[in-house]
Amino acid sequence: MTLSARSLLPVNLTLGVLLTVLLAVAAGVAYWSGLSPSPSANRPREIVVAGVRAAAQLAAVSLVITWAVHNVVGLAAFLVVMFGVAVRTAGRRLTTNRTWWLTATPIAAGVVPTVAALLLTGLVPAKGLALIPISGILIGGALTVTVLAGRRALDELELRRGEVEAAMALGFLDRDARMEIARPVASDALLPGLDQTRTVGLVTLPGAFVGMLLGGASPLMAGAVQLFVLIALMAVQAIAVAVTVELIARHRLFRPGRRAA
């Protein structure tokens, strides 16, 4: 790590205090603004727990990743854990029944071919130092759009159940009737990625770009890496949304009490 990287955000007591204050502000605003969607959902508590978990998990990852990047078994185990946590997180956000594990399909459908293409073409070496961050970005992106698309589609189908039944009465196949309702709203899950790609360099300088610069890479190389990440992420997310909507339209992924006869 270069001197500029170390001086960017020193790890000291001041940082700890500031992080604590910011976490308290986030939870406080959520509490006073009534941002909890229901009595059973406590957003301020979730914010605090998420912050504490992030600190603990990043501390653990900092220790484990040093071993994983130099060990093939450790690298494979690390990637499997990343994928498993993403699947469980997405599944838990969408449903409480046994179909939650099917969220593995949209996440893997985009990530696996993309990572395989990178390895086969030699653009990314089969080394943890390169493979872990790239896989993490892609898995995280697929996780986000799977949750957003899935929740929007399931909510819309529940809200407009009468329209689905009316379409079926007109002769639409079950899958097609659900697809007509779910697909338009699910596609909104792609908007954050699209906006990030459209505004890169103008509004934000994403992490991969900044990280490459701090690591000593030239601006041209950093830009090339960031461009690859953004475009690969759009491909992964588009696939994840398409597969998520298909699973919901075919009633493979559903919420309790909504299973087709």
Q: By the 8 A CB rule, do 43 and 35 touch?
A: yes
Q: By the 8 A CB rule, do 148 and 92 touch?
A: no
The first and second tokens of residue 149, run together, are 């698309």
| DSSP symbols for 206-237 | -HHHHHHHHTT--HHHHHHHHHHHHHHHHHHH
The first and second tokens of residue 8, run together, are 């960017």
Residue 130, CB-side half-sphere exposure with 13 Å CA sphere: 10
Instruction: Give the pLDDT confidence of 150-162 residue by residue, as tens digits.
Output: 999 999 999 999 9
pLDDT, position 141: 94
Diameter over CA atoms, the chain: 68
Tell me what percent of the residues of the chain surpass a pLDDT of 90. 52
Stated pTM of the model: 0.79
**E runs forming strands in 93-145:** none
Instruction: Give the pLDDT confidence of 176-227 residue by residue, as tens digits.
Output: 999 999 999 999 999 998 998 888 877 766 666 666 666 666 777 777 778 8
